[in-house]
Amino acid sequence: MNLLVTGGAGYIGSHVLQHLRRGGHDVTVYDNLSTGHAWAVGDAELVVGDLADTGRLRETLERGFDGVLHFAAHIIVPESVTDPLKYYGNNTRNTFNLLEACAATGVRYFVFSSTAAVYGIPDTVSVAEDAPLQPINPYGASKMMSERMLMDLGAASDLRYASLRYFNVAGADPEGRLGQATPDATHLIKVACQAATGQRDGITVFGTDYATRDGTCERDYIHVEDLAAAHVRALEHLDGGGNSQVLNCGYGHAYSVLEVLNAVKRASGVDFHVTLGPRREGDPPALMADARRIRQTLAWEPRYADLDLIVRHALAWEQKTALQTA
């Protein structure tokens, strides 16, 4: 297929791009490079543009694409709390711009990068796709609104879609070609690996008084390579005549912040400094995916569902990065 990947120069988008190229698809990347990197797209075509630039966006889509995979978004939860309009502008309004252009140019398939943050604080730790959507921060709300727009457009047109609700994405390409290179990233495993490689002085744990196993937040961590494979399977599902879907992307088991930090210390052999701090606004205590639907619908079988393996790949990327910047 001929595909457009928005945000394809970023962390997750670039990994998905690599999978799509290996699958023989023709891929064009549309990215404003605010957090992504041109080198991450390899030799794929890169259109440097913003989704707010509706003229450039429409001109690009008028080339004719079978499908769009949409990754371009702001993703930092605490920032969304302090600057909500930034998130509604980029994550919601710009998704509207993209969907409007897709509808006008006959795009058939749309794969959306959503988030478990749409659930807020669910009634159960293991959350299924039919759980109530009650986000507790503007980031989750901005994604929920985009999901609703996509669902309504799908109901009113021939567009078929997959909304993939990510849990906590981590890790890197096992061969070291790609990794989390976003400036000032806040992902726990990346930050911990940076502390282990001397790129940070240490790490702060935000909240130790949650009603969890050890008092720290618990999350379901998914390897970025397994997540990328899920996007390809979702696209194949739609192209094979499958119905539109909303799918959780996680493994169905959760680890606490302290368990993750211990895993990074084991892998690195470095006892980096850990500061225990107060809770951070907008963080739910625990989130874990009920991942049965994605396994059944897409016949998706993860290859990297192991915390220590995720940490090793993330650490190898940070070690490589540290050497390059030394």
How many whole angstroms separate alpha carbon 139 and alpha carbon 311?
Answer: 26
How many whole angstroms separate alpha carbon 79 and alpha carbon 278?
Answer: 17
**Does position 32 have pLDDT exceeding 90, yes or no?**
yes
Which of the four pLDDT bands, split at 50, 70 and 90, describes residue 262? Answer: very high
User: What was the pLDDT predicted at 326?
Assistant: 61
Listed in sequence order, the residues at least 6 apart from 57 whose beta carbon sits closer than 8 Å to its beta carbon are: 30, 49, 51, 97, 98, 101
- Whether residue 272 contacts residue 195, with contact meaning beta carbons closer than 8 Å, is answered with yes
Kindly report, residue by residue over 84-97, the tens digit of the pLDDT: 999 999 999 999 99
- Whether residue 243 contacts residue 289, with contact meaning beta carbons closer than 8 Å, is answered with no
CATH 3.40.50.720 spans which residues of the chain? Answer: 2-169+221-249
Please name every residue paired with 61 in a beta bridge, in sequence order, or none if there are none: none
- Whether residue 113 contacts residue 166, with contact meaning beta carbons closer than 8 Å, is answered with yes
DSSP letter string, 87-149: HIIIIIIHHHHHHHHHHHHT--EEEEEEEGGGG-S-SSSEE-TTS----SSHHHHHHHHHHHH
The CATH architecture that domain 174-219+253-287+304-325 belongs to is: Alpha-Beta Complex (3.90)
Kindly report, residue by residue over 149-180, the tens digit of the pLDDT: 999 999 999 999 999 999 999 999 999 999 99
How many whole angstroms separate alpha carbon 47 and alpha carbon 40?
Answer: 13
How many whole angstroms separate alpha carbon 30 and alpha carbon 63?
Answer: 13
Q: Which residue type, as a one-letter code, is found at position 10?
A: G
CATH 3.90.25.10 spans which residues of the chain? Answer: 174-219+253-287+304-325
* Residues designated as active site: 139
The highest-level CATH class for domain 2-169+221-249 is alpha beta
Kindly report, residue by residue over 203-256, the tens digit of the pLDDT: 999 999 999 999 999 999 999 999 999 999 999 999 999 999 999 999 999 999
Kindly report, residue by residue over 48-95, the tens digit of the pLDDT: 999 999 999 999 999 999 999 999 999 988 899 999 999 999 999 999
Residue in 282, 283, 230 with CA at minimum distance from that of residue 256: 283
**Phi then psi for 267, rounded to 5 degrees?**
-70, -35
